[in-house]
A and B are shown apart, each in its own frame.
Chain A
Amino acid sequence: GDSVTQMEGPVTLSEEAFLTINCTYTATGYPSLFWYVQYPGEGLQLLLKATKADDKGSNKGFEATYRKETTSFHLEKGSVQVSDSAVYFCALSSGNTPLVFGKGTRLSVIA
């Protein structure tokens, strides 16, 4: 079945550092890809999405490009802030199937 693999955390970075969180997927067909973020004590929020190959999703300085050839959707941000500390989930949906999530990557940004 469909699955998502993302890098294990926790990831600890200093403020203004460059962030990459790797995500690869296995799916039948052509899935839509998502990054969700979960701040402490809250539910998940959509961060960005891409629905077809070579699409780039972006939001709040975060970016991810749908790479069909490498089945990847890595999350990047050029300069992280303390307020970016959260758990980040990569997810996919094939057709009408409910979202399949990766296990999440905890990011801690220190001042």
Chain B
Amino acid sequence: DSGVTQTPKHLITATGQRVTLRCSPRSGDLSVYWYQQSLDQGLQFLIQYYNGEERAKGNILERFSAQQFPDLHSELNLSSLELGDSALYFCASSVTGDSGANVLTFGAGSRLTVL
């Protein structure tokens, strides 16, 4: 157990629907990162939050949004889902916002299947 908790582990939904993925960071970590892992694109950085504020943005679609709450947990919202959104979504956390100096601790991922 890495200390980063992601729910749900698996999710199957239909095109056009909306889902929310949840992440609780490791105790003491202030920064949360979201990554999408697909077979053809590999691991793609989506977005990072540090202590409730957006710190960095990557290849996140406009249909996707995220936030980090005062208790530091984070949610990734995916809307108007398309078949191509099927992927593993990973959350990671670190102590500070500097991923160069700090180790990222990853959760086990949420597998989303869009039918």
The interface size of chain B toward A, counting residues with CB under 8 Å, comes to 23
Q: State the majority secondary structure of interface residues on B.
A: loop
Q: Evaluate contact between A43 and B106: CB separation under 8 angstroms.
A: yes
Q: Is the CB of B103 within 8 A of A97?
A: no
How many of A's residues come within 8 Å of B, CB to CB?
A: 24
B108 CB within 8 Å of chain A: yes
Name which of A51, A97, A98 has the most chain B CB atoms within 10 A of its CB.
A98
* Chain B residues numbered 71-102 whose CB sits less than 8 Å from any CB in chain A: 90, 92, 97-101
Of all A-B residue pairs in the complex, the 6 with the closest CB atoms, nearest first, are A43-B106, A103-B42, A93-B100, A101-B43, A44-B106, A32-B100
Q: Which residues of B contact A (CB under 8 A)?
A: 2, 4, 33, 35, 42-43, 45, 48, 56, 58, 90, 92, 97-101, 103-104, 106-109
Which residues from chain A sit less than 8 Å from chain B, CB to CB? 31-32, 36, 41-46, 49, 51, 89, 93-104
